[in-house]
Amino acid sequence: MTTLKTFATNLAPAAVGPYSQACGTDSLVFVSGQLGIDPATGTFVPDGFETQARQAMTNMQAILEAAHASLDTVLAVEVFLTDMGRFKEFNSIYSEFFTDHKPARAAIEVKGLPLGGLVEVKCTALRSAEKRLTA
């Protein structure tokens, strides 16, 4: 029987609605969409798209680690951009986080994001076999 689990960390911002930072099973984790919000302040990081994109990726990484997963175990990423003209700029930042491992990915332009964010990222990953046995 599969047990559903939820995962949370103070190293990423609290959910801005009635959902978990992540949920999953013994083998998979689904990370909710992450905005460029600083977990310490609960507000968007300053200076616009580049810093928001980097913070969103950092938030996603922190949640993965809390769920006993990592960027190296990500299967798929979904990216939501309010301006597809920023696609190349986002790819440059994304490549700082995914260097050798290249998960499947979709990038979608949207009219708007929660709280007026400029970029949001979410992912699905495998949980670490060694760590999940104790979590």
Does the 5-132 domain belong in CATH 3.30.1330.40? yes
User: What's the Cα-to-Cα distance from 56 to each of 62, 93, 110, rounded to whole Å?
Assistant: 10, 11, 16
Sorted by sequence, the CB contacts under 8 Å of residue 110 that are 6+ apart come out as 80, 81, 82
**Per-residue pLDDT tens digits for 11-50:** 999 988 899 999 999 999 999 999 999 999 999 999 999 9
Taking the C-alpha atoms of residue 24 and residue 75, their distance in angstroms, rounded to an integer, is 14
pLDDT score recorded for residue 21: 98
pLDDT score recorded for residue 130: 53
pLDDT score recorded for residue 134: 46
| Exposure on the CB side of residue 78, measured as CA atoms within 13 A | 12
Say if pTM beats, i.e. exceeds, 0.85. Answer: yes
Low-confidence ranges of the chain (pLDDT < 70): 1, 129-135
